[in-house]
Structure 1
Amino acid sequence: MRTDITLANAAPTLPPGLLTLPSIGLTPPPAIILYGRDEKGRPHSSKFAGDMTDEAEAAARLMGFRFAAADTDALRDLATCLPAGRLFSSGKGFVPFVKTSLYERLLAATGTADKPMPMKAHTKPADGGGAPGAGQGRGGGGAGAGDPPATRAGAKAPASLSEVGLGSFVLAQGDEGDEGYYAAKVLATKTPDSFVLQWAGYSDLPEFVRPRGALGLLPPEAAVGLA
């Protein structure tokens, strides 16, 4: 008995390995690193996703910072140590403080010289209540005098601004003209709605005062390791 082969019962003649299309791995663009010193010489750096290249570079120019693509092994390793940045509606970006040792490694990896930003001309704030008080001491509100503890026992990052108290880690607005918010620790209560703080990890920098309205909440996971 003869069986004719038709298209309906014909077996594929291609090797099995050729029946499956190979997966194509797309390599994401390298992260963009923003870095630089502020007018007080403090080092800042953060990383942005590679698909935000244009926006991150524009933010760097507005802030007077440098930028580099993490396209070498050294820069990719450094990028894993940097906080994630974010962009503001003004076009500037969130570029927090980093350790001097990390910043120096970044300079070496990019082959750039360490140059501080030029000093900015500051004008006297119109409203003293909301003005930053960088360099101010603790004044009459010394530690232990009317300082409420953070509402959640042992919590470094309060769940709301009403819970901010002695020992809390928060985001504090930068100096005048700086739209960024940076991690800081509450050292004392100056008034019911203003606090004496210190930048987290920078105990050698002066204490400063911020009103409650110039603070933001720090994600609990970001407070891990802060002291």
Structure 2
Amino acid sequence: MVGLDDKGKPHASWFAAENADAAANAADLMDMAIIEIGNDDSLTQVAMCLPLGKLFESGKAFVPFVKRSTYDLLAVHLSDEYLAAAAKRIEAASNADYAKASKGEVAPRNHPEHWSKIAVGDVVLASEGHDDGWWESTVLEVQADDHFLLRWTDWPELDQFVRHVSDIALLHPKPFGA
């Protein structure tokens, strides 16, 4: 599965053949595309470097970020129709974000300076596991025993999840150059 999110960031992952139908359904729900590897050796080499995707009961999938160069290798196998639709979707999302920001409707992002100061609405980093990267997550609830209910910032439609404070990373509290 491969695609660009609404911010134009590339995502890609592989799924086992027995999950092909579920992955295709998830791709449709998430405005992504499926590329079948088949006997194409160049695609096989790229796919071997991709992270394993994760399917959710909601019908969607977790498809991690990949380098732009990796996406570019896969994008040559995407249809012109898909590429045009993705570009249109990204442009529409960008215009909507700009309109919200100009009206002051976008809340400021809070970056706590210490784990003890994490609060609802803060943005922290979380991971799906050892082999996955760290992704921005919004704190939805502070729970007992240093646990936090989180939601992926870039994928709010995915299931909420809980992480212990030891499984959370902090962003720099001040923007660079400020």
Output the TM-score relative to the length of structure 1.
0.45
Give distance in 1, aligned partners of 2:10 and 2:66: 6
CA separation of 1:101 and 1:135: change in aligned 2, threshold 3 A = farther
Q: Which has the higher contact order (CA 8 A, sep 6+)?
A: 2
Are the equivalent residues in 2 in contact too, given 1:137–1:208 (CA < 8 A)?
Answer: no
Aligned-residue Cα RMSD (Å) equals 3.5
Q: What is aligned with 2:139? A: 210
Q: What is aligned with 2:65? A: 97
Q: CA deviation digits over 1:106-128, x for unaligned, max 9?
A: 112x15454436146x9xxxxxx
Give distance in 2, aligned partners of 1:217 and 1:103: 30
Q: CA deviation at 1:36?
A: 0.8
Q: Pick from 21, 26, 31 the counterpart of residue 54 of structure 1.
A: 21
Q: CA deviation digits over 1:15-67, x for unaligned, max 9?
A: xxxxxxxxxxxxxxxxxxx1111222121111100122211111111211110
The residue correspondences of 1:1-227 to structure 2 (distance < 5 A) are: 34-71=1-38, 72-108=40-76, 110-113=77-80, 114-115=83-84, 116=86, 118=89, 119=92, 136-138=108-110, 142-143=112-113, 147-148=114-115, 189-191=117-119, 195-197=122-124, 209-211=138-140, 212-214=148-150, 216=161
- Output the amino acid matched with 2:60: K
Give distance in 1, aligned partners of 2:10 and 2:107: 18
Structure 1 gap segments, 5+ residues each? 1-33, 123-133, 149-164, 166-188, 219-227
CA separation of 1:101 and 1:202: change in aligned 2, threshold 3 A = farther
Quick check: which has more Rg, 1 or 2? 1
Are the equivalent residues in 1 in contact too, given 2:149–2:162 (CA < 8 A)?
Answer: no
Give distance in 2, aligned partners of 1:102 and 1:47: 13
Q: Which one has a larger percent helix, Structure 1 or Structure 2? A: 2
Output the TM-score relative to the length of structure 2.
0.55
Q: CA deviation digits over 1:114-144, x for unaligned, max 9?
A: 4436146x9xxxxxxxxxxx88434xx653x
Give aligned pairs, total: 125
Give distance in 2, aligned partners of 1:135 and 1:208: 15
Tell me the percent identity. Answer: 31
